[in-house]
Structure 1
């Protein structure tokens, strides 16, 4: 039996500066290949095109990456494609606390993506912004799930987690 989803969000990497970095990397790579082609002339080896795969793979990876979050009576489901293709469910019976919080993505987790904190803050799934659903499990582990809809997430959480 499926339970009614009270909160649903899909986020993607759409920050202009991330794409600018990838375009710059692609441009530098193209420039280096052209320069190498001019030097090598008749001895140019197609293997020199291999470095193009790195920025192209970066484009594809970021374009198709997405963070899906759902909150329902069962718990919190999260899927960070391409790292998870199925939802990972965190049932309410293993969650000690769930709150919406403000955090610093760079200082707390080292940036965006699938991150691990070196400072005891646990794991994070985030793609943009500085708001997230902070889970503290009964066994002490922590997980932060980024959100662009903090008020809606807090409202959904209030149905399942008592305010302290």
Structure 2
């Protein structure tokens, strides 16, 4: 196996439940006390709806191939390639949201993190000293890619 592609989003059962609950409560509050026109005029409802639409639209697409690891954060114009030959070390690890202050494109005490959910990721240490954590939901497939492209001496796993 020498190619793997993963697509992740912020959407989970919890985000869907929260979206339905909050939008439902806002709708009920205004519809119970007035008309549909009051709902249409409520700025808070529309801002909340736009935030949830944005969360559902954002995707982290990661592609592993012979060149390296390609990162694309959709819909943002964010494309990066981390080449295998530029990596000093690459291994799977668990992380805490406290390490980076949440999910997304984040900076933390241990470098850059690009994640959307979960607590497992691929930790890269580049030859320049830069550290990058890339979130993954499929650690088995990523481990097979690491085994394929990196020698045994250059990787470790603590997942």
Q: Alignment partner for residue 91 of structure 2, among 89, 99, 102?
A: 99
Residue 157 of structure 2: aligned partner: none
- Structure 1 segments of 4 or more deviating over 4 A? 31-35, 44-48
8 Å CA contact 2:27, 2:39 repeated in 1: no
- 1:158 counterpart residue number: 147
On the 8 A contact 2:30/2:39 being kept in 1, the answer is no
Do 1:33 and 1:48's aligned partners in 2 also have CA atoms closer than 8 Å? no
Question: Which residue is equivalent to 1:15?
Answer: 12
CA separation in 2, counterparts of 1:14 and 1:75? Answer: 27
SS at match of 1:73: coil
The residue that corresponds to 2:156 in the other structure is none
Please, which of 94, 116, 122 is the counterpart of residue 111 of structure 2? 122
* 3-state secondary structure, aligned to 1:88: strand
CA RMSD in angstroms comes to 2.6
TM-score, length-scaled by structure 1: 0.77
Q: Unpaired segments of 5 or more residues in structure 2?
A: 154-159
Computing the radius of gyration from Cα coordinates, the structure with the larger value is: 1
Shift, 1:67, TM fit: 1.2
Equivalent pairs counted in the alignment come to: 152
2:138 matched residue in structure 1: 149
Say if 1:114 and 1:123, in contact at 8 Å, map to a contact too. yes
Unaligned runs of 5+ in 1: none
The residue aligned with 2:67 is 74
Match in the other structure for 1:132: 121
Given that 1:71 and 1:157 are in contact with CA atoms closer than 8 Å, whether structure 2 keeps it comes out as no
Distance 1:152 1:45, change over 3 A: closer
Alignment of 1:52 with 2:45, yes or no, is yes
